[in-house]
Amino acid sequence: MAMPKIAFLECSRCGLHLDAVTPQTVCTACSGPLYVRYDIADASARPKREDVEKNPNGARRSGMWRYCMVLPEAEPVTLGEGWTPMLRSRLRPNVWLKDEGGNPTGSFKARGLALAVTMARRYGLKKLAAPTAGNAGGALAAYAAAAGIEAHIFMPKDAPLANRIECRAYGAKLTLVDGFISDCARIVAERKAAEGWFDISTLKEPFRVEGKKTMGYELVEQLGWEYPDAVFYPTGGGVGLIGMWKAFAEMEELGWVHGKRPKMIAVQAAGCAPIARAFENGEQVSQAWQNAHTFAAGLRVPKPYGDALILDIVRKSGGCAPAVTDAGIFASLRDWAEHEGVLMSPEGASATAAYDQLIDSGALRPEERVVIFNTGSGSKYSEEIAAMFAQQTK
């Protein structure tokens, strides 16, 4: 089964169609994020679920590329991303942990950047730039190195040490910024024209979402082509949540899955919870969060670019947007390490903490089948985790 040609790119806000012949960024009319659309109108040519299950054969079919029939036609820049374990919880019946910590560079960011860098190489782009909370920078640096492309990365200076080191090791040009990811984004926007950089920021080009949508395909396939009742997702920029929702719509159109879509639970840290607050207040977009503070570095996103999309998906799915304190996140991180054998990233632990919170409050029933995303490996956060241990022994 071949990879499909892109039919067009579609604005998620105003529906405008753009072509994908040259690299696109956001909608030319309204600056909305763009979705990749394929031509699957011809039912006889539609990819089938059985094609996915055929033996992977080479890079084009292994890992997340097993879904190559719903990904753009291009030779993958791959480091072995995707097809991560779906671990059944030992203590909580009906809970599965989708463990993204084993991806290249130790986080789910590998999926989006594998595809975005694949397409950048196909378009012949030579210089990529991105603001990042940390893990996306590490992933971009690795895939850019694999593709022979320059990476210019802007990261808050208090990002985890592992993220700073990996960027340097992969040979990226790293700038540490005294501020948040939003300040990093401003610098990229100001300098990109003069420097000749292509801006590969979250939702400012269409392919990171497209790569992350494979998490939606995978979780459904790993549950026997069935939806769970709820998906818990640690939400910073929200790209994974947006990508999974897109995957669900595509799978329904292809006839790969039926039934009620899961409630999407966008989990945030109490110290930076713009989506949780907007959800609570019934607002369509978020307000920038002041003085963001949490040891879950990936959740320090004061104003996500895709906030309207995230809130819309959470509401349409019948989900919610809880916030968890750092103490609650750390307690859950220790709980899952000690009792389940998984050292999660703090972002992942925010999602497991939120699960316990919703069970305790009665908002969710223990019979409901739930997939929780651990978006990264805890071993990338040894300094942050050490600091939390030190606080507890004071």
Q: Which among Zn ion, ligand PLP, none contacts residue 87 (Cβ within 5 to 8 A by kind)?
A: none
Q: Which among ligand PLP, Zn ion, none contacts residue 274 (Cβ within 5 to 8 A by kind)?
A: none
Member of 131, 234, 319, 378 binding ligand PLP (CB under 6 A): 234
Q: In what order do the strands lie in the sheet with 86-88?
A: 86-88, 95-99, 370-374, 230-234, 263-269, 323-324
Name the token pair of 88: 């059944």
Beta carbon of residue 193, minimum distance to ligand PLP (angstroms, whole number):
25
Nearest to 149 by CA among 82, 196, 190: 196
Member of 97, 155, 177, 239 binding ligand PLP (CB under 6 A): 239
**Number of residues located near ligand PLP, criterion CB under 6 A:** 19
* Contact between 160 and ligand PLP per CB under 6 A: no
Name the token pair of 67: 């879904």
Beta carbon of residue 259, minimum distance to Zn ion (angstroms, whole number):
31
H-only helix segments in 238-285: 239-254, 274-280
CA 109 to each of CA 12, 82, 150: distance values in angstroms, whole numbers, following the listed order: 22, 10, 18
* Contact between 140 and ligand PLP per CB under 6 A: no
Name the token pair of 394: 């004071």
Q: Which among ligand PLP, Zn ion, none contacts residue 16 (Cβ within 5 to 8 A by kind)?
A: Zn ion
* Contact between 375 and ligand PLP per CB under 6 A: yes
Piece of the chain touching ligand PLP by CB under 6 A; list 145-153, 233-241, 256-264, 316-324: 233-241
Piece of the chain touching Zn ion by CB under 5 A; list 6-14, 17-25, 319-327, 372-380: 6-14
- Sketch the per residue contact string, 14 through 53, with Zn ion: x for CB under 5 A, - otherwise: x-x----------x-xx-x---------------------
CA 314 to each of CA 191, 215, 276: distance values in angstroms, whole numbers, following the listed order: 34, 17, 10
Q: Residues 133, 108: contact at Cβ < 8 Å?
A: no
φ and ψ of 199, to 5 deg? -85, 110
What are the residues binding Zn ion (CB under 5 A)? Answer: 11, 13-14, 16, 27, 29-30, 32
